[in-house]
Structure 1
Amino acid sequence: MRIKCPHCGERDRREFYYVGDAVALDRPDPDAGDVVWDDYVHNRDNPAGVTRDLWYHESGCSTWIVVTRNTVTHEILKTELASKVKEAMA
C-alpha cells in the first residue's frame, strides 16, 4: 500500500505507523467500572468500507495525517494533515 504524505509525497506504508480510527472517542468516567473501561480500551469497530484513520509518518517527516481509505479494496481516497482536520472540526 502506498500513502501520500502531504509533505513528502507518495511513500510505502511501512514508513507510517497506524494509530487507529480518526474519530474522537468518548472517554468513560474514571469510576465507570472495569467492564466499561475494558470495552473502551480493547474494543473497536472493524467496518468494511470507507474509514478515516490516523497515521504517523514515523520514518519520514513526523507528520500526523488522516487517511480516508476503503478497507475492502485498499484504495486510498484522500490524505490530509491531521492539524487541518482538527481545525475544520472546531
Structure 2
Amino acid sequence: MGKEEGSIYDKLPLELLVRFYYEINRNIQKGILTDAMYHEIRLIEQTVLRRGISLEKLYDKGSRIIEAKKLLIGNNHANTK
C-alpha cells in the first residue's frame, strides 16, 4: 500500500492555515457556519500538529494576524481621506 495522501491543507503555507483556522473558528462560534466546518477545522489541526505547532499557538497567531490586518486597513482608509 502506498503513502497515505494528505489533505489540501498540507500544501498550504502556515500563514494561510492560521487565517483559515481562526476565521472558521470565529464563524462557527458566531453560528455563521455549519457543523460541517468542524471537519475542516480537524483537517487543519491535524496538519499543524504534524508540523509541531500547538493549537493554542495557531489560534493566537491567527488572532494577531487578523488584528494587524484590521489596523492596516484602518490606516489605509485614514490616509485616503
Same fold (TM over 0.5): no
Higher RCO, 1 vs 2 (CA within 8 Å, ≥6 residues apart): 2
Answer 1 or 2: which has greater helix percent.
2
Structure with the higher fraction of residues in strand conformation: 1
Band of TM-score, shorter chain:
under 0.3
The two structures have a TM-score, normalised by structure 2, of: 0.26
